[in-house]
Structure 1
Amino acid sequence: MRLVSSSATLAFILLLYCCHLILGQKSDSALTLVENTEGGGRGEGGNDDDEEEMTVDEDEGDLEVVQPTEEWQTLKPGQAVPTGAHVRLNLQTGQREVRLGEEQLKYWTHGHRDKEEIQTLFSPDELKQAMKKIKEDLNSVSTDQQDSVVSKYRPLEELKRHMAQLELLVETDAQIMKRMLEQLNSSKLSTEQRLNVLLELEYLVHQVDNAQTLCSMGGLQFILQGLNSSDFRLQESSAFVLGSAVASNPVVQVKVVESGALQMLLTILATTQPVRVKKKVLFAVASLLRHFPYAQHYFLSHGGLQVLSELFRADGGGVLRTRIVTMLYDMISEKERITQAGLDPMLDASHEERVHQSSKVTLQGELLEKGWCSLVPQLLESTEHDCREKALQALLAMANVCLEQYHSDSFLLGSLLSLRDQYEEMILSEMIPGEENSYFAEIVELIDALQIKIK
């Protein structure tokens, strides 16, 4: 505090006492005079006021608590000051003034002002009035409007009754297949109706469990009856159902082989039948042989390769050739994988039996004996890229057995040179910046690999 004369000090104390009487405080408040740090003094643009920090020990329930701001504001009689606020006595007006303290000023300057203002935007009484208004608005909705809304929705009990009725109409897949087999067993069913039933069965047996359930119900005999039918449409549909049922389904594969269906399929391939029937029969045979060495052994021992070779030669249009060569390639690749894996103890328990069954499949010798080393290269004449690709894959897989015949096959050697030049031109003409590999490049790689084998 600045040093003043003794007379000035006495006058100042008397002035404080008079102001205290005028303001009429209800309780004893402690006033502490502090040094005025704002503005640096009178001569430096500061006010002629001394700042004081006041501690108020008054009951806030009896007094109105002032809400200080950043600016000095006059403290009215009967108002209490919150903790932390700064209070000063203005010597010019003789009134007390209040503003936020230093810590509160920091809090407000860090972006809390808007939040505080939003929180205090509505008083509790205003909120109560708003809630009361909402209830009144809801109650004011007319009865007609309520009835209109209710009429759009059915009561819950009515919905439950309808759902209960719908559940009576729901059938499991097993129930559907049982009903279909009963229809197939009926002599009154027309051919068109039988075809529709077989079409629905084909859709269902894609699921492994459904195919096994169908066999346990005796459904296999109805499929075999269709294969043995004189109507080629029933043969086609029955072969389609059979192929879908045995695909990746070992349980059904075993039952189909035990039923003698494989021999029936080979008979259809060996006899005069429409191409559309033989396509579906080849599909069924390929699905039955895949990952099933026992069926492959049965297929070879019953002249399967001989049947396929005759079918290959008779297929002038080339519709069936690609399917046949793909089937052979799958069988060769699968046998090689099983042979290379050997008796690996880390594999499943059934692997040992699979290796044992695969050892009985004398596929390589059968291919050489039945003339496949000269038959497969004929597929390179096709204009379809997919057919050429399948032929090249099969030729590579057969190279260990057919290598001597490859050396003397002028057609094969000439076809490989011609195809390589053709696909090289396609690669250059369809080259896309940033793409190094393409479908045609993969075919060139197959040609190169086969040429290396032959050399």
Structure 2
Amino acid sequence: MKTSLLNLALVWYSLSVHTAFAHTEKFPTALTIREHSDRFEEKEESHNTHEAHDPEDLEVFNPTDEWQTLKPNQAVPPGSHVRLNMQTGLREAKRGEEEGLKYWTDGQRAQQLKEALKKYKGDNPSKKEAGQADTSTSSQFRSVDELKRDMEALEFLMETDAEIMHKLLSKFNSTSNTVDQRVTALLDLEYLVHQVDNAKNLVSMGGLKLVTDALNNTDVRIQESAAFVLGSAVSSNPTVQIEALEGGALQKLLTLLATPHPVSVKKKALFALACLLRHFPFAQSHFVELGGMQVLGDLFKEQGVDCLRVRIITMLYDMIIEKELVFKTDIEAVPNSTQQQYAKYSLHPMLVEQGWCNLVPELLNSTDHDQREKAVRTLLAMRPHCQTQYQQNPSLTNSLISLQKEYQTLALTEETQGEKDGYFNEILSLLDSLVVKIH
């Protein structure tokens, strides 16, 4: 009993001392709260806790180095010190040490943010004053133009692809810019024109003409980049293919391939040419008329262009197979006009006349599996018209027999690893088919 009374006395004494210190002016007891940098001070709960304050009613507190009493619902900037005065029961705040407060002490900027907040709220002041509630759909959503104006005021306006393309074209077309700057503009443009709509916008802006004309530029870097943009723009885009053909792109690309230029330029020119001709029989017909097959043959014979040879035979293979599929497909699936366009030209006689039956087998000597595969596929596609040349070429027969043995071993290794239909087995099947058809 004595111990309990003693403990009770000690508790009572402790409370008395704490209360005495709390009511002296020398030691004003207060609860100090340090604000986090990314949040405002939470509002004090009112008697009607279910009523939320409208954001536009918040007043931004402007802190100083002295403690100031906060008004009800007043927002405190990040980094401020906040405390609860135990004597008055009111909240007080002052400036924190962080430099981030400098942003909030600018009264003009704070006012701008408050006004922007009001705009995004989308309330009609006249209705608010009249106490009318706007429940229409238009009051809940703002138009695009209004949002753009508000975003522009806050320096958050986003540019559309069309606007970016317009700036890139202006940058490329400006003679005051360096070659590096103009090349960078073209490469950025190439990234955008992969999209069908952007490529069409390139035409409407006059950008396709600028790019096509740049194929004749004296700087090889601009020629290479322009060919890259052209190929990406016309790829799987019939509308742009037609515009490019009418703008003279085909002639300019053939000129690049037929005249002395770095391999890098011709590589991009072949890319653009392949994209322009793909599924475009009208362009393929013009290609043949302009001597395109002869240009490719001369390029194939050049020294040090192994990477170009694969692209060339791939283009030939695609053109041969594409035409064959059109005539093998049901007439209801392929319009008669399309077949008529493909019928206007023939590749097979030119393949024989210009020596392609003996040129393509040269790629079989490559050690690259991809080059071998594409060579065998092209040889199979040309076989109906190159049968005699194949049979009269002993080096072709020897190469095919040697490759058969090599890929039989590789295919067997694949099968032991659980790949019955692997890549090497596929090449072996192509070789077997070609050997059987030749003999």
Category of TM-score, reference length = shorter chain: 0.5 to 0.7
Q: Is the 8 A contact 1:315 1:321 kept in 2?
A: no
Of the three residues 321, 325, 334, the one matched with 1:337 is 325
Counterparts in 2 of 1:419 and 1:171: CA distance versus 1, 3 Å: same
Q: Give the deviation of 1:418 after TM superposition.
A: 0.1
Deviations 1:349-402 (A, max 9, x none): xx3322111111211111111111111101101110000000000011111111
The aligned amino acid for 2:421 is N
Bigger radius of gyration among the two: 1
Contact 2:414–2:422 (CA<8 Å) still a contact in 1? no
- Residue matched to 2:254: 266
Match of 2:369 in 1: 385
Shift of 1:229: 0.7
Q: In the TM superposition, what is the alpha-carbon distance from 1:226 to its structure 2 partner?
A: 1.6
Instruction: Give the equivalent residue in structure 2 for 1:447.
Output: 431
Matched position secondary structure for 2:175: coil
Matches within 5 A, 1:404-419: 404-419=388-403
Correspondence for 1:174: 162
RMSD: 2.4
Equivalent position amino acid for 1:340 in 2 = K
Select the residue among 154, 168, 174 that pairs with 1:186.
174
The 1:164–1:261 alpha-carbon spacing in structure 2 relative to 1, beyond 3 Å, is closer
TM-score by length of 2: 0.67
TM-superposed CA distance for 1:144, in Å, is 3.9
Matching residue's letter, 2:221: R
From 293, 298, 301, the counterpart of 1:305 = 293
- After superposition, the Cα gap between the structure-2 partners of 1:374 and 1:162, relative to the gap in structure 1 and judged at 3 Å, is same
| In the alignment, structure 1 residue 165 sits paired with structure 2 residue 149 | no
C-alpha contact 2:172 2:183 (8 A) present in aligned 1: no
CA distance in 2, matches of 1:156, 1:354: 63
Following TM superposition, by how much is the alpha carbon of 1:343 offset from its aligned partner in structure 2, in angstroms?
A: 2.4
Work out whether residues 414 and 420 of structure 2, in 8 Å CA contact, stay in contact via their aligned partners in 1: no
Paired amino acid for 2:369? H
Q: CA separation of 1:158/1:437 partners in 2, compared to 1, >3 Å: closer, same or farther?
A: same
In the TM superposition, what is the alpha-carbon distance from 1:404 to its structure 2 partner? 1.1
Relative distance call for 1:404 and 1:251 in structure 2 (3 A) is: same
The Cα offsets for residues 233-272 of structure 1, whole Å up to 9 and x where unpaired, read as 0000000000000000000000111111101100110011
Tell me the residue number matched to 2:7. none
Q: What secondary structure, in the 3-state scheme, does the structure 2 residue paired with 1:320 have?
A: helix
Distance of 1:315 and 1:321 partners within structure 2: 10
Identity %: 51
- SS of match in other structure, 1:210: helix
Separation (CA, whole Å) in 2 of partners of 1:240 and 1:447: 35
Say if 2:336 is the partner of 1:352.
Answer: yes
| Residue 204 (1) aligns with residue 192 (2) | yes
Q: How many residues align?
A: 311
Aligned to 2:45: none
TM-score (norm. length: structure 1): 0.64
| Ranges in structure 2 where 5+ consecutive residues have no aligned partner | 1-30, 43-75, 80-109, 121-148
Which amino acid is 2:229 matched to? V
Question: What is the DSSP-based 3-state SS (H/G/I as helix, E as strand, rest coil) of the residue aligned with 2:307?
Answer: coil
* Long gaps (5+) in structure 1: 1-141
Cα separation, partners in 2 of 1:316 and 1:193, compared to 1, 3 Å: closer
Q: Work out which of the residue numbers 316, 333, 358 in structure 2 matches 1:374.
A: 358
Aligned position for 2:6: none
Q: Distance in 1 between matches of 2:374 and 2:316?
A: 10
